Amino acid sequence: MRNLKVKMAYNGAFYHGYQRQNNAVTIQQTVEEALSKLLMEEVTINGCSRTDAGVHAREYVFNFKTKNPISCEGLVIGTNNLLSDDIALLEVCEVSDDFHARFDCKGKEYEYVIHNSTLKNPFYANTAMRYKYHLDEKMLDEEAKAFIGRYDFKSFCSADCDKEDTTRTIFSFDVVREGDLVKMRVSGDGFLYNMVRIMVGTLICVNEGKIKKGTIKDIIEQKDRTKAGITVVPDGLYLNKVFY
């Protein structure tokens, strides 16, 4: 039995998140069906994490086991021929039998993309959040640094979060502008349900003056979701990198 590690990318706009569900089309279901058809055996994949409906991935990692002797290159080409253009396998390699994409993951990097313009751009529909008021990216970059460190991030997770331990370590958080795109890039050892979207929403509230500058550490310490900012839409969120 071979254990294969796979990197893929996807546009999640028209999927109900990563994880298989009974009543909606998901990334996991779509990829498992393509692999099963190609390999002529039932395939179950182990994903590195869950992503919500509408969230994208530039680098998502999963592993699965197969008896099929197909080459890694053949697996990429064959599966991609069966998938629609919004999902693509990027790379496949053989790994040790005990490798697991989720349990061996050491951290992740997410990027949130904001189209900061008064004008609509149809090419950013479903792939960026549109925000028509000016964003002060330099000020927000300074504010974002308050998230770095190991803290209880209970203030920054959805009420639907099922994790008892809400302590996580944030390695970096940068806000940069590229023309009319503002990109918020955050890496850490793990993230809670909606955590990145609430962090971004909190920074936007700081930009609007609804949350006072210099108070993000206070919000973390209060461990109260109502003190943090809005949960921004999923359209601009990308799983950017996975670390092993």
For the chain, the distance separating the N- and C-terminal CA atoms, rounded to the nearest angstrom, is 22
97 is catalytic: no
Inter-CA distances, 199 with 33, 111, 169, 177, Å:
35, 12, 14, 18
Tell me the C-alpha distance between 42 and 63, whole Å. 14
Catalytic, out of 52, 86, 136, 174: 52
Tell me the C-alpha distance between 52 and 127, whole Å. 14
Convert 217-234 to b/e letters by CB count within 10 Å (16 or more is b): eebbeeeebebbbebbbb
Q: Are strands 181-188 and 167-178 parallel, antiparallel or unpaired?
A: antiparallel
Tell me the C-alpha distance between 103 and 95, whole Å. 14
**Dihedral sign, CA of 198, 203, 209, 215?**
positive
CA atoms within 13 A of residue 77's CA, in its CB half-sphere? 5
Catalytic residues: 52
